[in-house]
Chains A and B, each alone.
Chain A
């Protein structure tokens, strides 16, 4: 760790000389050697963590060039996917409800970096990017959005109901706040299985006022469950600003007897005069790592992620009636998570502008290919209307409008 103290890098300060970074020295590497997993780079989160009833972790986060470039790639992919979903929705290929995550990618990516696929994540309806982070494929994503068979839920769930059981992703829930008690139940099962895994139950600032959250928190604390409640505070519950919905918008403190940690990206978003930082994937990673260790030893902990969504609440919400366009573009300019990583990569000279642009172009074409594949997938068969209501073979009867028709027992 002695190494890192003298080699702290700053977001904006460009590095000069070979001694700037790691013990092995650092030359500009082309993108092809991004698989470099051994060089340790230390990044400092721009603001310290704020803890409630716990000692916050250090601001210094260790990473490698591979991870840095991986962050960039993953976040750019998520961003591109959400933008593509936006245009698909506008061309009516996606119908129903579509809640986009662009702006908040740092949370998904940072969290994944700190945990394994055996840990469980459960979230609300803004789940496309979390699904990708959990190992979902673009084709599954777009197919599910368009309601096709190749989708992760066979086209029966739609935007709000993405799941990936084998990678510990439990969805995907439409009812606000309902996923949190479920998450605590997952943690209970994990405690029984004794495999050192935890559950991240994610929710938003709107859901933070739901009663069932506090019920679940109380139960988790009583039973010392490895449950980590993550509040993705994007400051607006649909159209309602957080200060209008919550007497205490310090969501990380709401657990009272449960410790909390705030990834304090900036002071109140609404005040322009405050110092504004980037939405920091490394801060998320550090916090999640800390939280996992804490939860395995001491029981539940609350994480509050100060983040922002560029789109409105859903595709039917322009997103500008309750906040100014200046605010949105201000956040995009100063705190965009992808830009932050881009600057980090460039300042550490792990890649060039041109190479990063090439990566983005590659991502664009990947997304386009996935959309094309998804479009080819057929709609679910009409018989799927009746499947999976109960376990197979349990039998539902459906009679035709003409009562004389045969009653069929469906799968």
Chain B
């Protein structure tokens, strides 16, 4: 297949994904990066081996290329960024579209919101998710509520008549792609998560703070291929989006990524491993750990179903519910501390919906309730063995 044009590829990818989503193909790979969509992607166009930062870089190139009013800015992005996600952008698109900001997170995000409100695509980078807190007020009080409090006069995204919007609600990517060139959008990218030696301020997972805010979207990819598609969807989404990138995977995760423009739909979870005994839900880098636990559990005869949530807010309750109805058991795992983590929301929702179907209490295998430690990181993290223990105890409840 030749490279698709911008508009049609979105529709093409969207329909393919909806079909493949219900497929019953089992994942035979040991890495969580392979999905049932590979056969389709191979047919769609050239593939290139990329790691996570290259895939994100690729997505940003495409985003800036396809929309002349897209801008990338943040601390040190001009030379390529501390994780090399923005290499080559300044050279290709110029200093007026890809530029450094001073060291002021609140300023960066506020500035981005203003830019988006004037129908531009603002892609702001926060250097580490640990530094996002000065910008928290801007995200929660300004970005999230802009559309709501102005009666849709102002927003960090597209202006739409509400009828048209509702009609196209089921095809968010289509929406974004159609109006892509004439609308704005706000995306805030930040590397999050443990990296082995990050300590208190280079390892945090703040996603649950943002999941508590109606009006924004929170998206977390698990692999290079997912990241590129999800990031393009986020950039083209008419709502403000916070996109957390698992920094551990920047170099570690390598995958064959299609080089053409494609989008992965938001608010759709993906079942990346099918099973019948217990459902595990996670996102980001943690999925790799959970996958290992699932493989070990398989050896002991426990068949695990693994779901990648992909979008945490608004999250795909239907997929998870369908899976829990199938297996009757649910475990959630994330790096952030367990109290108040997003696992609590998933647990509560599923108990509300599937109480009578549940065979065991919903388990959460998460980080401990301490600040992210320095030397104790291996003890703090929800490791494969902790997940395996939980799988076994849930099944034997």
Give chain A's interface residues, CB within 8 Å of chain B.
Answer: 95-97, 147, 155-158, 160-161, 174-177, 206-207, 209-212, 237-240, 244-246, 321-322, 379-380, 382, 384-386, 389, 396-398, 400-404
- What residues on A are CB-neighbors of B130 within 8 Å? 174-175
Tell which of B198, B363, B376, B393 has the most Cβ of chain A within 10 Å: B376
Shortest CB-to-CB span from B343 to chain A, Å, is: 13
* A389 CA to B107 CA, complexed, in Å: 31
- B371-397 with Cβ < 8 A to chain A: 371, 373-376, 379-380, 386-387, 389-390, 392-393
The 4 closest A-B pairs by CB, nearest first: A174-B201, A209-B102, A402-B393, A401-B389
Chain B, interface SS category: loop
User: What is the CA–CA distance of A211 and B363 in the complex, to the nearest angstrom?
Assistant: 42
Residues of chain B lying within 8 A (CB to CB) of residue A160: 199, 201
Query: How many Å from the CB of A126 to the closest CB on chain B?
Result: 14
Output the nearest chain B residue to A384 by Cβ-Cβ distance. Answer: B376
Docked CA distance A373–B380 (Å): 28
B75, B198, B375, B393: the one contacting A156 at CB < 8 Å is: B375
Q: Does B134 contact A (CB under 8 A)?
A: yes
B79-105 near A? 1/0 per residue, CB < 8 Å: 100000000000000000000101110
- Chain A residues within 8 Å of B104, by CB: 209-211
Assess whether A239 is in contact with B76, with CB atoms less than 8 Å apart: yes
Interchain CB contact under 8 A, B106 and A211: yes
Q: Is the CB of B76 within 8 A of A240?
A: yes
- CB pair B102–A245 under 8 Å, yes or no, is yes
Please determine whether A207 and B393 come into contact, CB atoms closer than 8 angstroms.
no
**Size of B's binding interface in residues, CB under 8 A:** 37
> Chain A at the B interface: mostly helix, strand, loop or mixed?
loop
Please indicate the chain B residues that have their CB under 8 angstroms from the CB of A212 in the complex. Answer: 134
Interfacial chain A residues near B107, Cβ < 8 Å: 209, 211
CB pair B375–A379 under 8 Å, yes or no, is yes
Chain A residue with Cβ nearest B361: A403
Report the Cα distance A158→B106, complex, angstroms: 27
Residues of B within 8 A of A147 (CB): 374-375
Q: A157 to chain B: which residues have CB within 8 Å?
A: 374
Assess whether A385 is in contact with B393, with CB atoms less than 8 Å apart: no
B370 beta carbon closer than 8 Å to chain A: yes
Asked whether any CB of chain A lies closer than 8 Å to the CB of B369, the reply is yes
Closest to A387 in B: B370
What B residues does A210 contact at CB under 8 A?
103-104, 134
Known contacts A97-B202, A206-B103; A402 and B197 CB within 8 A of each other: no
20 contacts between A and B (CB under 8 A): A96-B197, A96-B374, A97-B199, A97-B202, A158-B199, A175-B130, A175-B201, A176-B131, A210-B103, A210-B134, A237-B102, A382-B379, A385-B373, A385-B376, A389-B370, A389-B371, A398-B369, A401-B387, A401-B389, A401-B393
B351: Cβ under 8 A from any A Cβ: no
Q: Which of B76, B104, B379 is most buried by chain A, counting CB atoms within 10 A of its CB?
A: B104
Additional 8 contacts, C-beta under 8 A, given A174-B199, A176-B131, A209-B104: A240-B75, A240-B76, A240-B100, A244-B100, A322-B79, A382-B379, A385-B376, A386-B370
